[in-house]
Structure 1
Amino acid sequence: MPSRRPARGRRTGTNRTGRRKGRRGGGFGWTDLFLWGVAAVLAYAALRSALPFARSHLPWFVASAVAVLAAAAAVPIVRARTVAARQRRWFEANLELERVDRLTGPEFETLTAGLLRRDGFRQIRELGGSGDRGVDLTAVGPDGRRYAFQCKRYAGSVGAPEVRNFLGALAHAFAGHTGVLVTSGRLTRQALAEAGEAGLILVERDRLAGWLRGEPLPHEPLRSG
């Protein structure tokens, strides 16, 4: 008996099921459209609520924006002014040091005495000369302590022998005084080491420039490190 052929145009159940699944999986469904609609309504409501607030606070928003822009623009200006002020102080300090370099020894001692008066020291005595016994100035500080100063207007370096002579004066004729060594130069490494061990207050060239510009004289001795 001849086998029966499936009728033309008949669709099997598998094909119908596959096509039905394809229609369900593609495009937007009613649920998606509903969710998008709800989101649009909420966004519109939020925008409607925010507009009156923005209109009523518009000057505040504008002022805030202007302040932020002004601050951003001021940063480079402030930085440039800071650099210019630092350079100006550097030039002023060097001009002062050049003036100091032209002084004689006694004039340098007089300059130091004037700086002490400016800083509130009292009972200032200038002892410089051949019989100064290693100390050029004595004074009483604002803290009530007695100070002895050795002033060295040097173009070069102050060596260890000068430090030792000063320490000898502090140990004998000026015992009980706090020693301060003021110089327009700098100390050698050995001189720095011995001054640090003895606890001297040192005013070398860089610190002298600051003192001339109005910075206070340090009152704490140098500690060797």
Structure 2
Amino acid sequence: MARGSKVRKRKRVTAAVCVAGVAVVWFAAEHPGWALGITCLLGVLLAGGLVLRQRMIRAERQRFLAANVELEKVDRMSGPEFEHLVAERMIADGFRQVRQRGGAGDRGVDITALAPGHGRYAIQCKRYGKPVGARDVRDFLGALANTFAGHTGVLVTSAGLTKQARLEALGAREPLILVERDRLADWLLGTVSLLPARSAGMLTEEEAT
């Protein structure tokens, strides 16, 4: 009985859509000027709505970043919350196609992103209370050499790195970009960038040593 009711409902909806479509076609044929005007108006309203939505999203992102630039707040975050903060900062920094991958099955990378004109990036986030060790760095380099070959590697941590971990990171065939605690706050504030296009404030391997 319930199945028959659903079938009848779908038929009524289909019939209503067909009638509406016929009415629109008839109106456009009989009143082309009005139809064009209404179409243009709807297009303007749609475009305006999309622009407004994008502005609201950007404003919300800026509020979120401004509320979480203090390292004391970062220290109270969970791992996923820290990954979300890093992803939001990357979007604000100009990265595109920013995707959070953290969790089971992330294959050693928490975030992937595209830097227009500069290729793909793979980011590992470590919200640690102690220095990141050499094993973590080696695991990340392994992911970059295999699953994420061709990506620029970025290691972002709320702590620092051990001496051996830093040597591993900077001595690799493709050295990692390191964002350690002493530069994390500056990056979250937007005063430095990961993107080469803003080289005056770019985080480099040398600055991280």
Bin the TM-score by the shorter chain: 0.5 to 0.7
Contact 2:155 2:176 in 1 (8 A): yes
Count of aligned pairs between the two proteins: 134
**Which residue does 1:125 correspond to in 2?**
99
Distance 2:102 2:145 in 1: 18
**1:64-143 matched pairs, under 5 angstroms:** 96-143=70-117
**1:212-223 matched pairs, under 5 angstroms:** 212-219=188-195, 222=205
Partner amino acid, structure 2, of 1:119: D
Q: Deviations over 1:124-144 (max 9, x none)?
A: 111000211110000011433
Distance 1:122 1:141 in 2: 6
Distance 1:98 1:143 in 2: 35
Distance 2:150 2:194 in 1: 18
Distance 2:98 2:141 in 1: 20
Contact 1:119 1:216 in 2 (8 A): no
> Does 1:211 pair with 2:187?
yes
Q: 1:209 to 1:106 in 2, by over 3 A?
A: same
User: Which of structure 1's runs of 4+ aligned residues deviate more than 3 A?
Assistant: 218-221
Does the residue aligned with 2:171 lie in a helix, a strand or coil?
A: helix
Q: Deviations over 1:9-60 (max 9, x none)?
A: xxxxxxxxxxxxxxxxxxxxxxxxxxxxxxxxxxxxxxxxxxxxxxxxxxxx
Residue 218 of structure 1 deviates from its aligned partner by: 3.2
**Which residue does 1:202 correspond to in 2?**
178
Identical counterparts, % of pairs: 61
Q: Deviations over 1:133-175 (max 9, x none)?
A: 1100000114331000000000111000000000000000000
Residue 221 of structure 1 deviates from its aligned partner by: 5.2
Q: 1:221 to 1:137 in 2, by over 3 A?
A: same
Residue 217 of structure 1 deviates from its aligned partner by: 2.4
Residue 95 of structure 1 deviates from its aligned partner by: 6.8
What is the TM-score with the length of structure 1 in the denominator?
Answer: 0.56
Q: Which runs of 5+ in 2 are unaligned?
A: 1-65, 196-202
Contact 2:69 2:185 in 1 (8 A): no
Distance 2:69 2:103 in 1: 28
Q: 1:97 to 1:177 in 2, by over 3 A?
A: same
Computed over aligned residues only, the root mean square deviation of the Cα atoms, in angstroms, reads 2.3
Q: 1:132 to 1:95 in 2, by over 3 A?
A: closer
If you compute each CA radius of gyration, which structure gives the higher value, 1 or 2? Answer: 1
Distance 1:95 1:187 in 2: 21
Q: 1:157 to 1:110 in 2, by over 3 A?
A: same
Match of 2:137 among 163, 179, 196: 163
Contact 2:69 2:188 in 1 (8 A): no
